[in-house]
């Protein structure tokens, strides 16, 4: 491993990162690869402007041996704001695996995040519950392991019923203060949710470096104009799609029958974030969830949301009968002080 060096990810690395993510052999029964619509570096920065990363390179080798990324935000724990880094992609080329490179890439991200914090901060990741190898790696740096959080995946829908007394519409400037207050109220019992301000919300809805916005916001409104629920929508499909490269035939057949696997095996997703509802109005968020599934039907195949199963979000994000497996995320975290595991958990992305 002495001939492999680590350096910060650069704008010119996009093509090499794409090759690594596309071509590296998969080791799971169901394997997927991400297909980017733009240069990978540009797409990653459009999704998270605070993103940073590291690549592993070898002398005389144009291909990269590994990559790892993270992005920065600010999260709330017990009502207090903390700088935070969310660890994302980590990929190591097959011919240099089991030589400690993955651990070196992971350590680089953490050290760089702490340097950018300029003090104490929060490091966190989201690991699929069945991924024992990644969880074992995370246990080396995490001070706590929290969760699980449910990954809710639903098909978009060609049509859906309207809910009497609830209007679904885009966010307007006059809604900003009410939405921010509603988010803070709803998530007061949660930890690790990203702090929201009018500036951050507006910036998230603005055009990105690819020339168009990738986020929208919808609210559910009562006849008297009262906001009942809201959610941000990330149009992930504008940047990338996930192709199912290999899947056992029985699962493929069930997926086609249940409508979870598109004919072209290309998953085009939208993702909900910081969804909320007014007290006692889970029905309003459910109406919003249904409306979003219909509105994006002609562009996306799936809607994805994360929900602590102990909270009310899981009741709003209904799927109905589905053959899709129930997926869960575990959250390894490194925090300045312990997070109370009895409090609800928000997973952000």
Centroid of chain to Cα 248 = 26
Which residue in 344, 309, 333, 308 sits closest to 82, CA to CA? 333
Residue 148 has what pLDDT? 95
Cα–Cα distance, 157 to 154 (Å, whole number): 9
Looking at residue 1, what DSSP letter applies?
Answer: -
**Which one is the CATH code of 151-330+337-343: 1.25.40.10, 3.40.630.30, 1.10.760.10, 3.40.50.360?**
3.40.630.30
Nearest to 303 by CA among 238, 244, 215, 236: 236
Only one residue has tokens 């993270």, namely: 70
Entry pTM: 0.90
Q: What letter does residue 321 receive in the DSSP assignment?
A: S
pLDDT at 252: 47
- What pLDDT is stored for residue 85 in this prediction? 97
Q: What is the pLDDT of residue 119?
A: 82
All residue ranges of the chain with pLDDT < 50 are 1, 25, 27-29, 249-254, 256-257
* CB-count exposure of residue 276 (10 Å: 0-12, 13-18, 19+): buried
Q: How many CA atoms lie within 13 A of 304 on its CB side?
A: 22
State which fold the 4-146 domain adopts: Aminopeptidase (3.40.630)
Token pair for 123:
């490091």
Query: Which pLDDT score is estimated for 247?
Result: 55
Same fold, 4-146 and 151-330+337-343: yes
Q: Which pLDDT belongs to residue 131? A: 84
pLDDT tens track for 215-225: 999 999 999 99
How much is the pLDDT for 39? Answer: 95
**What per-residue confidence (pLDDT) applies to 326?**
77
The SS3 assignment for 330 reads: strand
pLDDT of residue 22: 78
The backbone region for 225, taken as left when phi is positive above 0, alpha when psi lies in -120 to 50, beta otherwise, is: left
- Which pLDDT score, from 0 to 100, does residue 40 have? 95
3-state percent breakdown (helix, strand, coil) of the chain, nearest 5: 30, 35, 35
Which residue's entry shows tokens 């020339």?
A: 211
d(CA 80, CA 180): 16
Say what the pLDDT of residue 250 is.
47
Enumerate the domain spans of the chain: 4-146, 151-330+337-343
């Amino acid at each position: 491993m002495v001939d492999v060096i680590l350096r910060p990810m650069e704008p010119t690395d996009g093509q090499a990162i794409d090759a690594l993510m596309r071509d590296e052999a998969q080791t799971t029964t169901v394997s997927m690869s991400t297909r980017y619509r733009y240069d990978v570096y540009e797409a990653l920065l459009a999704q998270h402007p605070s993103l940073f990363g590291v690549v592993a390179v070898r002398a005389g080798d144009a291909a990269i041996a590994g990559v790892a990324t993270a992005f920065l935000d600010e999260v709330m724990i017990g009502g207090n704001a903390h700088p935070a880094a969310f660890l994302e992609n980590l990929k190591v080329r097959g011919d240099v695996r089991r030589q400690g490179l993955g651990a070196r890439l992971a350590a680089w991200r953490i050290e760089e995040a702490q340097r950018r914090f300029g003090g104490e901060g929060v490091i966190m990741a989201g690991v699929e519950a069945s991924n024992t190898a990644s969880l074992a790696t995370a246990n080396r740096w995490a001070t706590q392991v929290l969760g699980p959080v449910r990954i809710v995946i639903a098909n978009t829908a060609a049509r859906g019923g309207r809910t009497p007394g609830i209007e679904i519409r885009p966010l307007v400037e006059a809604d900003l203060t009410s939405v921010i207050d509603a988010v803070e109220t709803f998530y007061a019992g949660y930890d690790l949710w990203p702090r929201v301000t009018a500036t951050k919300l507006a910036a998230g809805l603005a055009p990105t470096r690819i020339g168009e916005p990738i986020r929208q916001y919808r609210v559910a409104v009562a006849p008297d104009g009262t906001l009942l629920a809201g959610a941000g929508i990330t149009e992930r499909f504008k940047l990338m799609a996930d192709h199912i490269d290999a899947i056992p035939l029985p699962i493929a057949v069930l997926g086609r029958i249940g409508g979870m696997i598109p004919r072209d095996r290309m998953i085009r997703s939208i993702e909900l974030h910081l969804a909320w509802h007014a007290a006692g109005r889970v029905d309003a968020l459910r109406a919003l969830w249904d409306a979003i599934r219909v509105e994006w039907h002609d562009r996306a195949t799936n809607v994805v949301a994360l929900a602590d199963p102990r909270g009310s979000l899981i009741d709003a994000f209904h799927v109905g009968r589905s053959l899709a497996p129930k997926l869960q995320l575990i959250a390894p975290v490194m925090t300045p002080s312990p997070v109370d595991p009895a409090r609800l958990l928000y997973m952000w992305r």
